[in-house]
Amino acid sequence: MLSQTMIDRLNQQINLEIYSSHLYLQMGSWCAYKSLDGCSTFLSQHADEEMMHMRRLLNYLHETGGLAMLGGMQAPPTDFNSLTEMFETIYEHEQLVTKKINDLVHLANTEPDYSTLQFLQWYVAEQHQEEFLFKSILDKIKLIGTEGQGIFFIDREIGMMATNQNLDKKQQ
Ligand code: OFO
């Protein structure tokens, strides 16, 4: 049995994960519009992953007798000055998600709610991976540069990351 505070905070996280999915879907669409097909595929896949993050939380609420509540969703930004700016926005967003997960862990620890504390460990590890992933993409963009053919190579590189993620998932 979860406290009402915990149910409310898990619901906030559910809605944040849906927003993350919308954000990456929208960004993927912007990339397709700019003929950056590799980035578009990568972001569209990532949007699916965010829905999986949401579903884990949703199922946890179901298992613990809580009611999941979906709220009105803020529209994600639709335009970006550059690919670099777009990935910087993603990195900042993932840092915000990490902060929200940390806040949830803190709440579970202080209530104390050891079941939720244990459940949240997956998200702690996942956020470490997400921040590492997007930081490494930003590092690649800085290294290769977006001038001239640079943007073509970046798009190809990020497109390959999408393919590899797919292969990893199939092997799991
Ligand atoms: Fe990108 O980790 Fe969920 O939100």
Contact 11, 68 (CB under 8 A): yes
The residue type found at 64 is T
Report CA(75)–ligand 1 centroid distance (Å): 17
Q: How many domains does the chain have?
A: 1
CATH of the domain at 131: 1.20.1260.10
Mutational pocket test of ligand 1: of 12, 14, 20, 100, the residue with most ligand atoms within 8 Å of the beta carbon:
20
pLDDT, tens digit (0-9, with 9 covering 90-100), for 119-166: 999 999 999 999 999 999 999 999 999 988 999 999 999 999 987 776
For residue 45, give its domain range.
Answer: 4-171
Residue 171, pLDDT score: 67
Q: In angstroms, how far is CA 30 from the centroid of its own chain?
A: 17
User: How distant, in Å, are the alpha carbons of 11, 112, 123, 125, 146 from that of 162?
Assistant: 29, 39, 21, 20, 20
Distance 91 CA to ligand 1 centre (A): 11
Q: Mind listing the pLDDT tens digit for each residue in 7-41?
A: 999 999 999 999 999 999 999 999 999 999 999 99
Ligand 1 neighbour 15 (Cβ under 6 A) = no
> Can you tell me the distance from the alpha carbon of 141 to that of 85, in angstroms, rounded to the nearest whole number?
11
Alpha helices in 34-149 (DSSP H): 37-63, 83-110, 114-144
Distance 142 CA to ligand 1 centre (A): 23
